[in-house]
Amino acid sequence: MSAGRPTDLGFAPRRVLASRLERGVDVVRQRLRDDDAVAFVHAGSDANCSYLESDAVVVTSGAAVRLAERGSDSVSVGRGGAQAPGDVRSVDDPAGSVVDILDELVGSPGDGTVLTPRAVRHDAALFLERAGYDLASTTALGDARAVKTPAERDAVRTLGTATTRGFDTAVERLATADVGDGVLHDADSPLTAGRLARSVSATLAGEGVESPGVRVRSGGEETLAAGRPVVVECCPVGPSGGRLRAAWTLVVDGDGGWDRRAQLALDAAHRAGRGRLAAALDGESVAVGDVASEVRAEVTAYGFERPSVSVGGVGQAVRERPREGDELRPGQVVVVAASVTRDGDETASDGRRTDVVRHVETLCLDDGVERVVSLPGSLSPSRALDSASRR
């Protein structure tokens, strides 16, 4: 088992936010120049506003103002309690104040093109149009979010360390469970998916993760059974709003049949996916869809005809760029997810056809392809426990 003091997840939320602000504003200003626009405006509660830690934002060639609802700490104080940098103004209605701020910042109020994301609040867009501005849609902040800053990547690694300890908890609970009448027992009580999820969540909370995002599944049954795959999935959120995704499958007293073959297929598929990601870092032109195709082909080569495969970015949202047609490049954080279901196995009983083996890993594309969560590595909890103790 991994040991040591709790992960320092609050290591530098201000540094992470400052790096995002710098990158986001730089990308937005380049788009303003490219599109001959006077400003960028956004108001809402989506991942774009979360990226800039704001309720609304106005960016021009010479200024960037983030707006906070008066009395709220959503902007002036970043997650983790650190004072966020930048020009922040408290107002009664952030969406209703963007026109006043914009008029103040531009030389000719009510004149020119304003770029907005498609998800901008409808009332804010109406206020801008009524003030005389022409609106044009932009993906500038989504594009900025596609590549993580060094500080963001460090935050993902730290969150990955905390998540590793959560999986260690799942491994230990399953490895030490007793088996009676085919059902797993822990402390003389049946071990359920809910109890296991709460244990993993408690570990993550102890590491400083406020939103562990833990889910445990086993063939649709609440009570965990021997010989049935148990999928443990985590989607934690760090203090600066960044996310990762990870999942692993464990089987207590497995027979080494279908589920073992599924694990071998997924292991090979993930290796193949990491190989394509490494090629992108070596200068090859590799799109997200190319990685997904490679993963899918490897799974089907093992005889699984309908695997579920997804590849894409993660960050302020569970799924964000890079997406299907986007080319991969250094600085991105990518999730590779693959699973197979037993529904097509005619040798299985009806009750076993809901069995799923699922592996999900988050990869940081930096000097190499880095796996930010140390997943158990074996279907067997006892073997995984031995490996974790030697880590």
Instruction: Answer yes or no: pTM beyond 0.75.
Output: yes
Closest CA to 264 of 293, 294, 298: 298
pLDDT tens string, the chain, 391 residues long: the values are 544 556 666 556 788 999 999 999 999 999 999 999 999 999 998 999 989 889 999 999 999 999 988 876 555 444 444 444 558 999 999 999 999 999 999 988 888 999 999 999 999 999 999 999 999 999 999 999 999 999 999 999 999 999 999 999 999 999 999 999 889 998 889 999 999 999 999 999 999 998 999 999 998 889 999 999 999 999 999 988 999 999 999 999 988 889 999 999 999 999 999 999 999 999 999 999 999 999 999 999 999 989 999 999 999 999 999 999 999 999 999 999 999 998 766 566 666 778 999 999 999 999 999 999 999 989 999 999 987 777 6
CA–CA distance, 145 with 141 (Å, rounded to integer): 6
Closest CA to 175 of 326, 339, 376: 376
Q: Domain check: are 130 and 21 in the same one?
A: yes
Distances (CA, A) of 326 to 163, 269, 281, 291, 311: 28, 21, 14, 11, 11
What domain range is 101 assigned to? 13-145
CA–CA distance, 231 with 254 (Å, rounded to integer): 14
Task: Give the domain CATH number at 331.
Answer: 3.90.230.10
Closest CA to 28 of 125, 136, 113, 115: 115
Q: Domain check: are 184 and 307 in the same one?
A: yes
CA–CA distance, 245 with 250 (Å, rounded to integer): 17
Q: Domain check: are 26 and 135 in the same one?
A: yes
CA–CA distance, 217 with 224 (Å, rounded to integer): 9
For 69, how many CA atoms within 13 A lie in the half-sphere containing its CB?
8
DSSP code of residue 320: B
State both tokens at 180: 């009676």
Out of 95, 122, 145, a domain closes at: 145
Q: What total number of domains does the chain contain?
A: 2
